[in-house]
Chain A
């Protein structure tokens, strides 16, 4: 029993250590970014000033394939922090974009792009 406890304690230590290492790396990389100037505001309309995306929500979102229904994504991520201006990169496809600060790193935003009722993709936008 004691042996078993030590084994799982080790697992926690390893897992915790990896998380700390990952966080440390993220901070280093932030400092090394060539253009550290603050980004200009990209929101067109603030929807929910307190909106953030939890780890669980992010994990679930990453498992949804591009091309899925917008409703499926919106059920997962709820109300966005803000909307970006609509853009039309492709003729005939008006893209709506919504942004969510990450709960564990609010300076990083997840930007989601929809076209009509289709979820087209996401990207991580840094330094907000």
Chain B
């Protein structure tokens, strides 16, 4: 009897933890606060976008694709959410694309918050684009971005 009770209490607790995790995920995708997110990167490179060398700002790093946009806009590649990181790059995430993040550095007018696919995210003279993939240890690795994703970012699909 006691064992059965313990089992059902455990079940209830696990249910609560699921609800809370769903709830937190919900908050994550719906809140529009301006708090920068700090990603734990897999690669610990010496210089990253936002750093400085001899007083000069680093705009792109290893793994970024730099594209001359001449002030044109970039667009949400999927339904998702735009946040900024401490270097003021835009971090785009989509619940429809688990395990990936897209980092857009060099934007002038970041449009943060929830976006539908094709919504403008900002404009840039030079865009520095990186694709990040989640690793089993929870860090984010810069990987080679595919052309189709960059095409989605550059066109209002």
Contacts and interface: CB of A to CB of B under 8 A. Distances in A.
Interface residues of A, number: 51
Contacts, number: 133
A97 B100 contact: no
B26 A120 contact: no
Interface in B1-51: 5, 9, 12-23, 25-27, 29-30, 32
Nearest to A65: B136
A114 B94 CA distance: 15
Nearest to B9: A11
Interface string A37-63: 101101000000000000100110010
A82 B12 CA distance: 29
Interface residues of B, number: 44
B5 A8 contact: yes
Contacts of A15: 9, 12-13, 16
A126 B146 contact: no
B116 to A, nearest CB: 7
A84 B96 contact: yes
A18 B16 contact: yes
B18 A62 contact: yes
Contacts of A30: 26
Given A42-B96, A84-B96, A95-B99, 7 more contacts: A67-B136, A88-B146, A88-B149, A91-B145, A102-B22, A122-B98, A124-B29
Interface of A: 8, 11-12, 15-16, 18-19, 22-23, 25-26, 29-30, 32-35, 37, 39-40, 42, 55, 58-59, 62, 65-67, 84, 87-93, 95, 97, 102, 105, 108, 111-113, 120-126
